[in-house]
Amino acid sequence: MFQAGVLAALFLFLFFSRRHRLPPGPSGNVAGEFTNLTMPEVFEKWRRKYGRIFSFKLGTRIVIVLNDINATTDLLDKRGEIYSSRPRFVVSHEILSDGKRGLSAPYGEHWRKWRKLQHMGMNGKAALYYRDQQTLEAAFLLREMLASASGHEQALQRFVTSNVLGIAYGRRILDLKDEMVSFNYKSALEFQRASTPGKYIVETWPSLLWLPRPLQWFRPGLEVLEKIRDKDRETYMSYFNGVKQRSEAGIAKDCMATYSLSHGGNQGMTDVEVAYALSAPFSAGVDTTLSAIRWSLVAAICFPDVLKRIQAELDSVVGQDRMPTFDDERSLPFLGAFIKEVTRWRPVVPIGIPHATTKADVYDGYEIPKGATVFSNIDVLVKDPNLFDDPEAFNPSRFLTQHKPAGNWNGKVESGFTIPFGFGRRVCPGMHVALQSTFISMARIFWAFDVLPAAEGSSIDPTKTVNRGTTREPAPFQFRVRVRHPDVERIIEAESADADFRLKEWEY
């Protein structure tokens, strides 16, 4: 009897030990893996070896990587109350940002207030208001592109940046030399640099901050960031106060800042917290939207038959006597499918922004501890053959036909394809305005121009990429445009002249 009891106890111990375990993954010093490879490349290497869910330890952190759509939606969507926090960003969030940036904030009261302000200013309904400026800026963009047969990078940057500043502060820019632009680019770049894994030892070993300050040999690098933080706070407050003054004078354009002032959007946040929240569209929206537009142009050049089909649709719906507008969007299903396919083919944030758990959890027999960092490997999810036939092929038509994915995932592949924008309560709040900017720019560029390689007979390699922190964009490329029909130049000049006049409402 005693032996039977011992055996039973041993069986139960082995059963539960087996059931509650971390997912498989590499062990030992994994930091060296990121020396020569990007994080997406390392994750892909490990996915091929360890499968749909794997884990590893980075310093004191447990990291879980999800490579399966069912696991991702089960955890990040359906268990959002557990999986909606962020890992601790000691340098970029706590030191550089004084704990004020919502993008990197842990789940809690401050983040909920921040998220509500973002939602009020950029939800699907609020996004409709920004269409007017986006449309006018797109006319201005075409004039800039017409003036130069190639070298359109600055025109694209100005278009995206001006729209983002309109969303946040109700203003626009005429060129990239604007002081507001240079400051925000520097600020966003410093945040990206401070977020680079392994750059600061205190990110891996935050307990080093407990040392007496004179013993913190790494402190000089942090003191530089503290000075940048003070400058950021001062500048963000000056932007917010500028909108306050224009609102009091009755001349402010509706934007996120005016929502916070007149629609209760501050949600009890301090002015400094609101000022940081208003910087979010720029810090998170310029690079991502610009990358999506760049990838759209790369796709148009690499797949000319797809571009011809888009142009045939535009000619049929819009004709040659006017530019396309947002009113045409519902009548341009192939263009809409093209934009979805671009975001699937080359997601701008390939491994997502990491989540973190606020409680311990068990999934599929694996233990996921409290405080674990959780990545959704978006680049793998959007190329899952259970979701998409021939996933490596560029095929916009896949979004025009009904398709029921394998497994228990109940998302909408065709009409509601939001996988590239993240999951759960941390889904990108600027998704609607970003898609609007991409639609109106692509609709008008493809209506007006043939988009061609920079030189006859040359090509672009879409596999060459540049990774900037968490984002991925095409390697630098050149292209040229050629007007498609005789009236293009006349219509562009007329539309852009009208845009010049109307856009003065956003100038100050």
302 annotated ligand-binding residue: no
Q: How far apart are CA 460 and CA 302, in angstroms?
A: 7
**Radius of gyration for the chain, computed over Cα atoms and rounded to the nearest angstrom:** 25
DSSP type of residue 386: T
Q: How far apart are CA 113 and CA 501, in angstroms?
A: 37
Measured in whole angstroms, the distance separating CA 69 from the mean position of its chain's CA atoms is 19
Give all strands of the β-sheet with 373-376 in edge-to-edge order: 53-58, 61-66, 373-376, 355-356
DSSP type of residue 355: E
Which residue type occupies 24?
P
Count other C-beta atoms under 10 Å from residue 440's C-beta.
Answer: 26
- H or E element, residue 366: strand 366-368
Instruction: Report the DSSP pairing between strands 366-368 and 373-376.
Output: unpaired
Q: How far apart are CA 80 and CA 68, in angstroms?
A: 17
| Residue 68 token pair | 């399966």
> Which residue is it, tokens 């994750």?
43
**b/e for 59-97, b at 16 or more Cβ within 10 A?**
eebbbbbbbbbbbbbbbbeebbebbbbbbebbbbbbbbb
Count other C-beta atoms under 10 Å from residue 259's C-beta.
Answer: 18
| Residue 66 token pair | 């999800």
Q: Annotated binding site, which residues?
A: 428
Q: Annotated binding site for heme, which residues?
A: 428
